[in-house]
Amino acid sequence: MPISLFWLLITMLLTFPTTLGTLDNFPIQLKHESLENTDSIHKTATIADSHIDTMMNVLNESTWLPEVDIGENTSLHADIPKLEEGGINVGFFAAFTEGYYDNNPRSISRTLALIHALYWMEENNQDHFQIAKTTFDIWKTIKAGKIAAVPTIEGAYSLEEHNAIELLHQYYDLGIKAIGFNWNYSNALGEGANKIYGDPARTPSNGGLTKLGAQVATEMNKLGMVIDVSHMSENTFWDVLEVTNAPIMATHSGVKALRNHQRNLTDEQLIALAENGGVVGIVFYPVFLTDKPSAYVTDIVDHIDYAVNLIGIDHVALGSDFDGSDMPSDLQDATELYKITDELQNRGYSDEEIEKILGKNTLRLLLEVEKSATSNPYAKGLDFEINPEYRMGEMIEETTPTLEATIDGPANTIETLDFRVIVDGVAYEPEYDNNSATLSFKLTEPLTEHFHVVTFEAADKDGTVQRATRIFYLNKEA
């Protein structure tokens, strides 16, 4: 190893903590040049937006492949130049689907299409944009001067009885940090805000969280994934609080006392959320803020004010819904986020309080959810490595492909391993070839949708698990 590389690695080990036990070490940011001449706390605060819908606007709707690069200036609310100019360090990028009723493979495919789009953005914008799977990843990414992209799911219509737990673990492998069980429509996990299913007849639903939903919530607690209660019915919200052992988050909601809308939270819900240690990300969507024809930054801060006065400064954050809804008249995109900071200052909030609203509360929640986790599929220190044949987003043309991965490691170790291959949440027993050290599974049921996810899993005699997960794309037009 070259001496210079050795000392670089030593420096990195001394600079980066192995775990992130506190938010005190988050780096002060050098913001976009447009903020250089301001004395506002907006210039140095770590800013997190807990709901951005940009990925749903970058796909070709025929192929579901990304075709808009957010590294460029676009007409979107939240491309990378706008996020940088607005001072946003952390964005929760949602894989949104309202579900394809009675078509689980398509719901899976659409969800994966949007997750893949985020990976595609990272690949194309490596100097500015990086996927962050943990708070430690967020810390490192911000320190490197990049935007930390946190993958989330809005509408877990892909999770059903036959695949929910296995597919949840695959989503975890891909970095999914928060999951909203519903997008208004009810599903296998619980009742949505509309209290109807997404079938053509719009069949009414009854009750809150289902048995499967409770199992998923419990498993998310184990994995350190955030349960997002936005878009749930009130019954589902209360049921989630009964089963969760970790703080919850409403990533993009408003205050019902100020705007009587089914998507907003009642005072009782807000108080319970705070008692749970949770956080509400105040949404910017005018329809959720006011019943007037137009909304303004003052309306956003009215909702922040109300929530802070009711439940305290430690439980309120920002969840814009950029690129998923209209914006207030005086906040048209991410570049104008500083106006919220200015209004908070005008209303007498201290710099410390503003820092909490802008980002620290969201990051604190992520850290606490991670600390409460009891399971971690990312095994470390095992003396073998799984190398899938497919790269992330690999395009294939065979509808019944043979899925393969090589296992690199000592032969005596590999011989003791137990293997599984999981495809779209369904587990299979693969074959292992000792001569080529290749793990393989031949699909017999033809794939019908574009996007799929495969996981190669190996467990040693002690039950320690190592996994490698890839999204792949079936080119149905080939």
pLDDT recorded at residue 207: 87
Helical (H) or strand (E) element with 203: none
221: phi then psi, degrees, rounded to nearest 5: -55, -45
Helical (H) or strand (E) element with 251: strand 249-253
By DSSP bridging, strand 438-442 and strand 431-433 are: antiparallel
Say how far apart CA 330 and CA 90 lie, in whole Å: 22
pLDDT recorded at residue 190: 98
Q: Could you read off the pLDDT tens digit of each residue along the chain, which spans 478 residues?
A: 444 443 333 344 334 444 556 666 665 554 555 565 556 899 999 999 999 999 999 999 999 999 999 999 999 999 999 999 999 999 999 999 998 999 999 999 999 999 999 999 999 999 999 999 999 999 999 999 999 999 999 999 999 999 999 999 999 999 999 999 999 999 999 999 999 999 999 999 988 999 999 999 999 999 999 999 999 999 999 999 999 999 999 999 999 999 999 999 999 999 999 999 999 999 999 999 999 999 999 999 999 999 999 999 999 999 999 999 999 999 999 999 999 999 999 999 999 999 999 999 999 999 999 999 987 655 556 788 999 999 999 999 999 999 999 999 888 888 888 999 999 999 999 999 999 999 999 999 999 999 999 999 998 888 888 999 999 999 987 5
Question: In the numeric block, which tokens belong to residue 75?
Answer: 């007409």
84: phi then psi, degrees, rounded to nearest 5: -65, -45
Question: In the numeric block, which tokens belong to residue 398?
Answer: 């065979």
12: phi then psi, degrees, rounded to nearest 5: -65, -40
Q: What domains are there in the chain, each with its CATH number?
A: 28-371 (3.20.20.140), 385-474 (2.60.40.1220)
Question: In the numeric block, which tokens belong to residue 322?
Answer: 């950029």
- 211-223 helix and 234-243 helix, angle to the nearest 10 degrees: 50
- Which one-letter amino acid corresponds to residue 77? H
Provide the residue count of the chain.
478
pLDDT recorded at residue 101: 94
pLDDT recorded at residue 409: 87
> Residue 246: CB partners within 8 Å, gap ≥ 6?
220, 221, 224, 226, 227, 368, 369, 372, 373
Output the pTM of the full model.
Answer: 0.93
pLDDT recorded at residue 411: 83
Report in angstroms the alpha-carbon separations of 224 from 54, 164, 176, 190. Answer: 25, 16, 10, 21
Say how far apart CA 39 and CA 35 lie, in whole Å: 9
Say how far apart CA 363 and CA 317 lie, in whole Å: 10
Say how far apart CA 82 and CA 300 lie, in whole Å: 20
State CA 158 to chain mean position distance: 15
Name the residue among 190, 294, 316, 192 with its Cα closest to residue 249. Answer: 316
Question: In the numeric block, which tokens belong to residue 18?
Answer: 């192995």
